[in-house]
Amino acid sequence: MYGVNNPADLKLIKKAGFSCVQTYQTDPDKLEALAKEAKKLGLKVVFYPTKILGTSAEQKAQKWPILAWYLVDEPDIHKTWTREKVKEANGATKNAFPQHATTLVISQGKTPIPYYDLTDSIMVDWYPVPHLLLTSFGDNVRFTQEGLTQTHATGHPLWGVVQIFDWKNFKQYRPDNDRIGRFPTAAEIRFMAYDGILNGATGLFFYTFKHLKQPLPQSAPQHWVQVTQVTQELAKFKKILEKGLAVKNPIEIKEPLVLKTWQYKRNLYIILLNRSADPQPVPADLLQRDYKPMYQTQKSTDISPYDVWILKKELS
């Protein structure tokens, strides 16, 4: 979860299914407090190293539960961050914390400067609701995966950042434009999450916990419910994605449907996505009784627009 500042919020965030928090704070004392509580709860953290490197806080930070040091936010937008500058920042951070990973986030999957191979992992934040196609989130995850391949960084963790905010609450780059926006629905959040996974994301972050200068659960509890419906489901399914073996799909599928299959213990687990704005017929094999619906899946002859089915089949 992005944008977490208060250690007191971490218990609620963990209950919602999250395993890691990010903050834009850089004050060492505030980071220490957040890291201490996160470690107690078994959470990882993503912090800027800016005010840690070369200070007395560096020694304490060695024991923080760092998932990755956050070198820069959207260097493809902030043009001063050349490849060389990112390399230097990465080198300084790895020199101080050789046991910790580094990361950065790009605002789109295809960037003029190829940042993909400069850190131990990479993130991509693409926020389409409501002005762009919902599938563009998964597309930009795939573009980032292609960038990793092109820069010989295949296998590096790739984390997609899912939109959980209303664009109207943010400063517009074009003040002459109409302010458009709304909070994504639970169904849209769920689709973006699974579409990201099927397009190569090995982890997901969600932007952002802060809503109108307050934590989302307090400022917009109805939206927090929408988020947790998705994140608690993902937390339950996480063991399949992380410990399961990706195997050949049991049936052939055609676009705009997308299918991926994992084997975990004596079961097959299938994610079926409709990447279309129109209902699509479901292959008859998946409608058989031995493909059992999980979570929010309700089987029918058609899969709704931008819907996600999760099915389980016992192996004989």
Domains of the chain, first to last: 7-242 (3.20.20.80), 246-314 (2.60.40.1180)
Percent over 90 (pLDDT), the chain: 95
Quick one: pLDDT at residue 174? 64
Tell me whether residue 284 is exposed, middle or buried, using C-beta atoms within 10 angstroms of its C-beta: 0 to 12, 13 to 18, 19 or more.
exposed
pLDDT surpasses 90 at 172: no
pLDDT surpasses 80 at 179: no
Quick one: pLDDT at residue 81? 94
Tell me whether residue 275 is exposed, middle or buried, using C-beta atoms within 10 angstroms of its C-beta: 0 to 12, 13 to 18, 19 or more.
buried
Mean pLDDT over 253-264 rounds to: 97
Give the pLDDT band (50/70/90) at residue 177. Answer: low
Mean pLDDT over 91-99 rounds to: 98
Give the pLDDT band (50/70/90) at residue 224. Answer: very high
Mean pLDDT over 51-57 rounds to: 97
* pTM: predicted TM-score of the whole model, two decimal places: 0.96
Quick one: pLDDT at residue 88? 98
pLDDT digits (tens, 9 = 90+) for 263-283: 999 999 999 999 999 999 999
Q: What is the mean pLDDT of the chain?
A: 96
pLDDT digits (tens, 9 = 90+) for 117-158: 999 999 999 999 999 999 999 999 999 999 999 999 999 999
Mean pLDDT over 171-188 rounds to: 82
- The closest alpha carbon to 296, from 239, 240, 236, 242, belongs to 236
pLDDT surpasses 90 at 175: no
